[in-house]
Structure 1
Amino acid sequence: MQASLLGFVSIGALAAGVHYVVALLAHALGWQPANANWLGFLLAFPVSYIGHRWWSFRGTLANHRQAFPRFFAVALLGFFANQLLLWLALTYTPLPFWLVLGVVMVLVAISTWLLSRFWAFHHG
């Protein structure tokens, strides 16, 4: 489990970096923030899936036809949860953005890891 968690954190950080850089570049080129964020998510998803499939959950017996759509659903759920939790916290609390973002990212990452480990890449 420790190697899986290390792999998940490493791959997750790499995918988050891709998402962030792509979204910033798209925004700098004139894209609206929401559209730039979607583009970042879509381009980071393959990095995330391939990395998690081959490193974080390398011992999985789940085939791609099972794991891919499940992981995509987990990733979408995480993306929507992130957006919703950020919006709710920033709208209804006086908490600063830097704190809200950090807490939301950790909560979503934990949820994503649990769903990935016990559903998306679980054989059965």
Structure 2
Amino acid sequence: MRASVLGFVSVGALAAAVHYVVALLAHAWGWQPSGANWLGFLCAFPVSYIGHRRWSFRGTQASHKAAFFKFLAVALLGFVGNQALLWLALTYTPLPFWFVLGVVMVLVAVSTWLLSRFWAFQHD
């Protein structure tokens, strides 16, 4: 399990960096926070799935098709939570987008790991 956590953190950090940088650039170019966040998510998802499939959860018995759709469901569920927390924080606090996005991404990562480990890439 320790290797799974290390792999998840490593791949997750790379995918999060892609998400974060793309979202900040889109926001700097005039995109609204929710749209910038979506673009960041869409760019980071392939990095996340491929990395987790090949490294974090390489011992999985799940087929690519089964794991992909389960992981997509996990990622979308995490993203809905991400969008909701982002909206709440930006609406009800004076905190800047760059800070809120970073905090929200860290908070959502834990639930994503748990669902990925024990459902999407389930081991026997």
- Please state which band the TM-score falls in when normalised by the shorter chain: 0.7 to 0.9
Q: Find the aligned partners of 1:100 and 1:16 in 2 and give their Cα distance.
A: 10
The residue aligned with 2:72 is: 72
Give 5+ residue unaligned stretches, structure 1.
none
Name the aligned partner's letter for residue 109 of structure 1. A
- Using the size of structure 2 for normalisation, the TM-score is 0.83
Q: For each residue in 1:15-52, what CA deviation from the matched residue of structure 2 results, as whole angstroms up to 9, or x when unmatched?
A: 01001111122222332221111011001000000000
- The equivalent residue for 2:110 is 110
One-letter code aligned to 1:65: K
Deviation at 1:110, TM superposition (A): 1.5
Q: What CA deviation, in whole Å up to 9, does each residue of 1:69-111 have, x standing for no partner? A: 110110111111122234446667x7x7758963x44442121
**TM-score (norm: length of structure 1):** 0.83
Number of aligned residues: 122
Aligned-pair CA distance for 1:114: 0.9
Q: Superposition RMSD on alpha carbons, in Å?
A: 2.5
Give the corresponding residue for 1:34.
34
- Say which SS state the counterpart of residue 59 (structure 1) adopts: coil
Unaligned runs of 5+ in 2: none
